[in-house]
Amino acid sequence: MPLLAQAREPGKVLILGDSISAAYGMNIEQGWVHLWAQSLQDRAQIINASISGETTAGGLARLPALLAQHQPDVVVIELGGNDGLRGYPLSQLKQNLTQLIKLSQAAGAKVALVPMQIPPNYGEAYTRRFYETFAQVAATQEATLTPFILEDVALSPDLMQNDGIHPTAAAQPILLAKLETTLNSILREASVSTP
C-alpha cells in the first residue's frame, strides 16, 4: 500500500493561449498542443484552454477559475498576439502578462511564457518593443521564456494559411519542435519539485 501511495500522478499542464494553440482552421487533433500531449503519453495531462481571438485581458479573466479547477503544475501562456494586432498599449500588455504569471505562480505552478511577434506594418518601434516586452516580463517574474513559436514558419507561405497569420496543419510539428525542449524541461522541473 505505501508504494501505491507514493506513485506520482502525471503532471498537469494548462495551456492558456489564442488561435495559435487552439488549432485555428484545422481539427484540434492536428494542433501542436495535441501533438505534444501525444508525445508525452501518460507522463503529463495537458489541458488546452486556448481560445481563438483571446487577448491577455481575456486570459486574465479566465485564469483564476482554470487554476482552481485544474491545479496545474505548469502553465504555458501563449497570449499577446491579438493585443498587438489590435494596437493595444504595451503598458497594458506588460501588466496583463505580469498578472498572468503572478497568479499562476501563486497557485504553485511553474510558468512558460511564449513570446509573440507582430507584422512590421505597425511601425518599427512598436513592433520591437512589443516583442521585447515578453522577455522583460519573463525575466522580472522569473518565468521561463520559450523560443518564438512561429520562427520557422511565419515567412514560409506554404506553411501559413491564406490569412498569413495562422500556421497550417503541416506547420504544427514544426511549432512543437520549436517549443518541445523548453516545455519538456520545465515539466521535468515541476515534477521534481512537486512533493
Catalytic residues, which ones?
19, 163, 166
List, in order, residues 6 or more apart from 150 with CB less than 8 Å away: 20, 117, 167, 175
Which residues, 6 or more positions from 14, have their beta carbon under 8 angstroms from its beta carbon? 47, 49, 66, 67, 70, 72, 74, 75, 76, 109
Element (H or E) spanning 144, and its range? Answer: strand 144-145
Residue 81 has which C-alpha cell? 498576439
Q: How many beta carbons lie within 10 A of that of residue 18, not counting itself? A: 24
Residue type, 178: K
Sheet holding 74-78, edge to edge: 44-48, 11-17, 74-78, 110-113, 144-145
Cβ–Cβ under 8 Å, residues 160 and 151 = no
